Structure 1
Amino acid sequence: MMSFPIWLPATLMAGALQAWRTAIQRRVSKELSVNAAGLVRYLYGLPFTMLLLGGYRMLFATPLPSPDPLFLLFCLGGGLAQIIATNLLIMAFAYRNFVVGTAYAKTEAVQGAILSFLLMGERLHPLAWAGIGCGVMGVMLLSTGGKRMGPMDFARALGQPAALTGIASGFFFALTAIGIRRATQEVGGNDPVLAALIVLAVTVAMQTAMQGGFLLLREPGQMGRVFRNWRVSGQVGLLSSLGSACWFTGFATAPVALVRIVGQIEVAFTLGFGHFYLGERMRRSEVVGLILVAGGVVLALMGSL
């Protein structure tokens, strides 16, 4: 029996914050390279992440646990997978519009369900699997961009750069979720929220070092642009840290696949930001796709009861 009070609102909030952050980050990516735009969320998110951890400890007077040494390895693996996934997602934006690029990456729900079963033995109720299927149908409909496509047309579309990049992004996001869940399990203690914040702080610090070091070696000229765009980049960092704190809390308290299935509701927020914030037109197919995604979330929740 799964308890909703912690992981469910955390996952729903994570979806809203991630959609908002991604919308702003797309504007940043127009002025920065792929690697520089990726660094923004870690570099500017690190101070906010530390504040979240420090504030939580002060508020609840919680002592720091003693994590298992494997904790650092899982943080490193999950952090690296997220860097790769984020860069691939930014690359997908170059091929199609904001909503479609994100929709391809949302295949991470089904990929996460399969990987979490193979790597962690997490099992789902048949209703949850039905929810995955419904949600995948929804995001695939969104990925057509309103075009009428037969089975063969869709099969050919899957070979296009946007599809391949988005699906690859979803795969690495799924690996990220598994790495983070395993890291929280190695923290120890009885407070899953504290474990999530500790994993978040360590992971973001590692990501800042990895992505920042790579940028200095390969694209040193981009570093100045990263700091010159601090006003917008600071917003990305704040939303990234808040969203990641919610995602990590979800991973610490519920199976990866279940969190990712419910997290597909982010597509609804993505449609809203794409329409109102970026001025992209909402098509009828996107509305139908949204309904399918919402139906998938409902089925997944029914399967978790």
Structure 2
Amino acid sequence: MELWIPITIAAAFLQNLRSALQKHLQGSLGTRGASFVRFGYGFPIAILYVLCLHYFVGYPFPTLNWIFALWAVIGGLAQIFATMMLVHLFSLRNFAVGTAYSKTEPVQAAIFGFILLGEKLTPGSVAAIIVGVTGVMTISMARMPLSWRNMLVAMTSRTALIGIASGAVFGISAVSYRTASLSLGGPGPVMEAAVTLACVTTFQTAFMLVWMFWKDKREIVQVVLSWRSSSLVGLAGVVGSAGWFTAMTLQQVAYVRALGQIELVFTFMASYFLFHERVNRMEVFGCSLIVCGILGLIFS
């Protein structure tokens, strides 16, 4: 098994854990505050990770450049707004369905990867991604009678459009991070990914602190007061991001994000066992299609 596969699965699990914690925090912090804790409590860990790789493992620091800075900023801003859309989505639908809508990202990431990086996909991989996205569409209309009209209504609803937009912006973010990491041309994918993560999360923290100070200073106080729960979001987020960044440095974004759809399996488990939300047969069937798409991607 190639190294990027277990790294991606672990990252997907941690991302699901982070999203579940953010959903829990949204009621007390609001959308902006619940989104900020992912970066604000995560960036010190990201910096510590880079220092450990340098001083204890022996990786040299890569040389930063303007291309890296440009794509890191684009990716960082895209991730901030995609995260805010996803957190807002949790208030419109249940946790599992809210996450499912954003999982059209692999197809969108494949398109952005083709346009920006010239990456290509095999026919088998394209088929596997389509199966996975079909599973996402099945989940999106699982609570209404199956018909073309209902599918159109489901995919053009406000909730669906926010979710699809979130997936698109996450796709832009993922491709930007891969471009930034590869531009370093450094000592290897682990250090390149770690430095990218540290720089991006530090920028995101500074950007959102200025934004919250300008919009509502009370949000900063609430984030500090909720440090116990918020620090767990930051820890899960930064460790998961380290996995994503490393996997996307090792492999094309579309493949990594398609395999990352396994997060929906973890999401349904969290939805049922943690939030006690009901899951019907169509949602289970959609989840099964996603798993089939993941297996097809691996074997292709």
TM tier, smaller: over 0.9
Confirm or deny that 1:102 pairs with 2:103.
no
Which of 215, 223, 230 does residue 218 from structure 1 map onto? 215
With 246-255 and 116-125 compared, the bigger mean Cα shift is at 116-125
- Measured after TM superposition, the shift of residue 282 of structure 1 is 2.3
Check the 8 A contact 1:268/1:290 in 2, yes or no.
yes
1:299 and 2:281 are equivalent in the alignment: no
1:125 equivalent in alignment to 2:122 = yes
Listed one character per residue, the Cα deviations across residues 161-213 of structure 1 (whole Å, up to 9, x for unaligned) are 11011000000000000100001111122310100000000000000011111
Deviation at 1:5, TM superposition (A): 3.4
Structure 2 partner of 1:115? 112
Secondary structure of the residue aligned to 1:189 is: coil
Unaligned runs of 5+ in 2: none
Alignment of 1:282 with 2:279, yes or no, is yes
Q: CA deviation at 1:145?
A: 4.1
Give the C-alpha shift of residue 146 in structure 1. 3.2
Residue of structure 2 equivalent to 1:77: 74
Aligned length: 300
Q: Counterparts of 1:5 and 1:125 in 2: how far apart (Å)?
A: 17
Q: Deviations over 1:17-51 (max 9, x none)?
A: 00011001101111112111111100011121122
Q: Which one-letter code corresponds to 2:96 in the other structure?
A: V
Partners of 1:285 and 1:146 in 2: how far apart?
8
Question: Any idea what the Cα deviations from partners look like across 1:84-120, whole Å, max 9, x if unmatched?
Answer: 1001111111211111110000001111111111221
Find the counterpart in structure 2 of residue 190 from structure 1.
187
Quick check: 1:256 aligned with 2:246? Answer: no
How far, CA to CA, are the matches of 2:225 and 2:76 in structure 1? 25
Moved more, 142-151 or 161-170: 142-151
| Runs of at least 4 residues off by over 4 Å | none
**Structure 1 contact 95–161 (Cα < 8 Å) conserved:** no
Residues 146 and 284 in structure 1, CA contact (< 8 A), matched pair in contact too: no
1:57 to 33, 54, 57: 54
CA distance in 2 between counterparts of 1:15 and 1:171 reads 18
The alignment status of 1:166 with 2:163, answered yes or no, reads yes
Equivalence for 1:32: 29
Check conservation: 2:42, 2:235, Cα contact below 8 A.
yes
| Alpha-carbon shift at residue 9 of structure 1 (Å) | 1.1
* AA in 2 matched with 1:285: M
Q: Displacement, 1:59?
A: 2.9
**In structure 2, what is the Cα distance between the partners aligned to 1:144 and 1:57?**
49
CA contact (8 A) 2:43 2:198 kept: yes
Q: Is the Cα–Cα contact under 8 Å of residues 67 and 188 in structure 1 kept in the other structure?
A: no
Aligned to 1:44: 41
Structure 1 vs Structure 2: percent identity of aligned residues? 38
Tell me which moved more, 167-176 or 291-300: 291-300
Task: Give me the whole-angstrom Cα distance separating, in 2, the residues matched to 1:243 and 1:178.
Answer: 17
**RMSD after superposition:** 1.1
TM-superposition CA deviations, 1:254-277 (whole Å, max 9, x none): 001010111111111111111112
For 2:154, the equivalent position in structure 1 comes to 157
Shift of 1:298: 1.3
